[in-house]
Amino acid sequence: MNTVKLTMAQALVRFLENQYVAYDDVEQPFVRGIFMLPGHGNVVGLGQALLQEAQRLEIYQGKNEQGMAHAAVAFAKHMKRKQIMAVTSSVGPGAANMVTAAATATANNIPVLILPGDVYACRQPDPVLQQIEQPTDLSLSTNDAFRPVCRYWDRIVRPEQLMSAMMSAFRVLTDPADTGAVCIAMPQDVEGEAYDYPETFFKKRVWRIERRPATEIAIAQAAKVIREAKKPMLILGGGVRYSEAHEAFRAFAEAYGIPFGETQAGKSAIVWNHPLNVGGIGVTGCSAANDLAKEADVIIGVGTRYTDFTTSSKWLFREDAKFVNINVSEFQSFKLDATPVIADAKDTLPKLQKALEGYNTAYSGEIEAAVEKWNKEYERLSHIEFGEDYVPEINDANAHSAFDYAKDVNACLTQTTALAAINRLIAKDASVIAAAGSLPGCMQRMWRAHSVDTYNMEYGYSCMGYEISGALGVKLAIGDTHEVYAMVGDGSFIMLHSELVTAVQEHKKINICLFDNASFGCINNLQTGQGNATLCTELRYRNAESGKLDGSFISVDFAAIARAYGAKAYTVRTLEDLEKAIEDSKSVKDVPVLFDMKVLPKSMTDGYGSWWRVGSVEVGGTQANREAWQNHLEHEKVARKY
C-alpha cells in the first residue's frame, strides 16, 4: 500500500479537495471553499495546510464566526444542498460563536462542515488560552457544545482518526433525509502531527445522492386516501426544491386541480401567479391558503416538516382531516398520524399521479374566489399611506403615538407598502433572503416570486443576524449576473452585520433593504397582543424622569454606518425616495448597497385566520392577560394533540 506522510490538517485539506457529489446526471465538487477566521487554535496547523494543499478550494476571510457560518448555510441552501462551504475558527469564543449557526443549519436540514480548533489532546500545556476547565471531566471543551446542534460530531485526538471521521462526516453531509451541521473538532497539537496516510484516502471520491424510490404499496395506500377526498390540498415544502421536483409537483397539482399552499422553505418552487398557488400557509400565511386549509379533507404534504407556523400550532386543519406525507425522512413522514410515503418527491409524484388517473376533486370556484379575495387585500396592503386617515395601532398605553414616532425618526413609510414597492421595482430574477422578525410574515404573504428558486428564507430557526451574512452566501452561489436583496430589520442589523465588510472586501454587490422601525416589532406585537406593556422591545432613550426605557425613539443613521464600511447607501424616508434609490442602485457595481428605510411600527401584515400557541399565562394581572388565556384555551382544545 502506497502512503504519503502528511499532518492531520494537510490530509484534511487534501481530502476536501477531492470530494465530489453526483445526482441524476450531474457531478461536481462538493466543497466549494472555506471561510476562515484564524486564531491560535487553527492558524498554525490548518492555516499552514491550506497554504500548502489548497488548489481548488476558495478561501474567504470571515469577520465574525457566526456570520461566516451563516453565509455557508445560505450558500448550501441556495445550492439545494448539492455543494457546501466549510468554516473554521480557533478554539474558545470563536468556536462558541459558531454554535448558533450550527443549530441554524441542523434545524433547516442544511449541510455545513464546521472545523473548530480544540484544546491540546496531550493536555500537557493545560489550561491553554481560551480553555474552559471542567474539574469533573478534563475531556470536555467548548466544542462539546456543538453536540446537541449537529447531526454528526467528532474529535480527532490521533491523526489516523481523520479517515473514519471524514467518512462518517460526508455520509451525513450528503444524506437528503438527515443532513445538517457536522462538527469535526481539531485539537491544535493533533493538527500538526503527521501520519502515513494511504494514498487511496485522497483519491477522487464521488458521493452519490440517491433518489429513494417509493414502494408500490406506499403509492397505493396514498392514492386510496386521496381518492376518498373531495377537497384535498397540497403543501409545498422545502423538500420539493431540494429534490428539484418543481415540475413534478406542478404537473401533479394541475392534473387534478389541487390547490397548494407554500411553506417558507418551499416558496418560489412555483411562481406566484400559478392559478393553483394560494400562497403562504399557516401563522405567516395569507387568507387564501388558510381559508382553503380549514375546509380541506386531505392534506398532502410534500417535503415539509409541519412546523408550528405551517400548521398554526396544529390548529389550522379540520379535526377529521387526513394526511398523506411524501418525505425522504421517515421521521417527518409519520407526523400528524399521516399515511407515509418515505421517498423522494421527484420520484414519487409522477407515480402517484398515475395511480390517481380518473380522480376528480369537488372544487367549484372556491380556489379562484380565495385567490381573488387575497389579491384585493394585497392591493390594500401595497398602497397604505401614513396620515390622518391611517394610524398604526399601538396597544401599549405608555407608547408614543405613531405620529410621535414619525417625528422622532422622520418616518412615514409603511412596511407593507415599502415591501410591495421593492418587489415591483427590482429585477424579476433577483433573489431575496430574510430570517427573523415581522418581515418573514410579510414576505411569505406578500412577496411575489416571479422566478423559480429566488426566495431564501431561514425560518426553521428564525435566527436574527442570518440575513446579511446569508446574502453574501447566496451571492457566492449565484454569481454576479443576478442581484441579491436581504430584507432585514434594525434589530437583526444591529445584532450581526459583520459580513457586510466581507462583501466590501470581495467586491460583492449585495443589496440590504433595512426596515428600521426602532424596535423588535414582531415581538412587540406578541408582547402587547397578550395584554402586556412594552418591555425591552422598542429602541428608546432611557427617560430621566421615569427611569424607564420610555423616552423618545432613537434614530440611527444606518446609511452612515454602511458608507463608513465602504458600501453605497441611500437614505429613504418616502416612497419616492425608495423608487429613486432602487433605480439608481441598479447601476452600482462591485460594492454592497444599503437602503436605510424608516418604517412605521405596527404597519406589517395581520394573522389572516391563523393561531400561534405562544405560552399564554394562566394567571394574569390584567384583564387583557386573562382574555389572552381564554383565547388560548378555545384554540388549544380543538388543536391536534399529535
pLDDT tens string 159-174: 999 999 999 999 999 9
pLDDT of residue 399: 44
pLDDT(135) > 50: yes
The sheet carrying 232-236 orders its strands as 277-280, 260-262, 232-236, 298-302, 322-327, 339-342
Report DSSP state, residue 320. T
**pLDDT averaged over every residue in the chain:** 93
Report DSSP state, residue 209. -
What are the beta bridge partners of residue 538? 519
pLDDT(407) > 80: no
What distance lies between CA 340 and its chain's CA centroid? 26
Domain with CATH 3.40.50.1220 in the chain: 216-367
Residue 60: in which H helix or E strand, if any?
A: strand 58-61
Lowest mean pLDDT among 22-36, 112-126, 573-587, 619-633: 619-633
pLDDT tens string 471-499: 999 999 999 999 999 999 999 999 999 99
pLDDT of residue 431: 98
pLDDT of residue 389: 53
pLDDT of residue 222: 98
- Rounded distance between C-alpha atoms, residue 392 and residue 410, angstroms: 16
Q: Which of 569, 546, 476 is nearest to 32 (CA)?
A: 476
pLDDT of residue 596: 97
Q: How does DSSP assign 187-202, residue by residue?
A: EHHHHT-EEEEEGGGG
Fill in the amino acid letter for 385. E
pLDDT of residue 615: 83
pLDDT of residue 530: 74
pLDDT of residue 111: 98
Whether the ω angle into residue 198 lies within 30 degrees of 0, i.e. cis, is: no
pLDDT(281) > 90: yes
Q: Which residues contact 72 (CB under 8 A, 6 or more apart)?
A: 35, 84, 85, 86, 87, 101, 112, 473
pLDDT(306) > 80: yes
pLDDT(392) > 60: no
**CATH class held by domain 3-208:** alpha beta
Domain with CATH 3.40.50.970 in the chain: 3-208, 383-598
pLDDT of residue 554: 84
pLDDT(533) > 80: no
pLDDT of residue 423: 98
pTM value is 0.95
CATH architecture for residues 383-598: 3-Layer(aba) Sandwich (3.40)
What 3-state DSSP class applies to 597? strand
What CATH number is given for 216-367 in this structure? 3.40.50.1220
260-262 vs 232-236, strand pairing mode: parallel
- Rounded distance between C-alpha atoms, residue 75 and residue 81, angstroms: 9
pLDDT of residue 394: 47
pLDDT of residue 583: 98
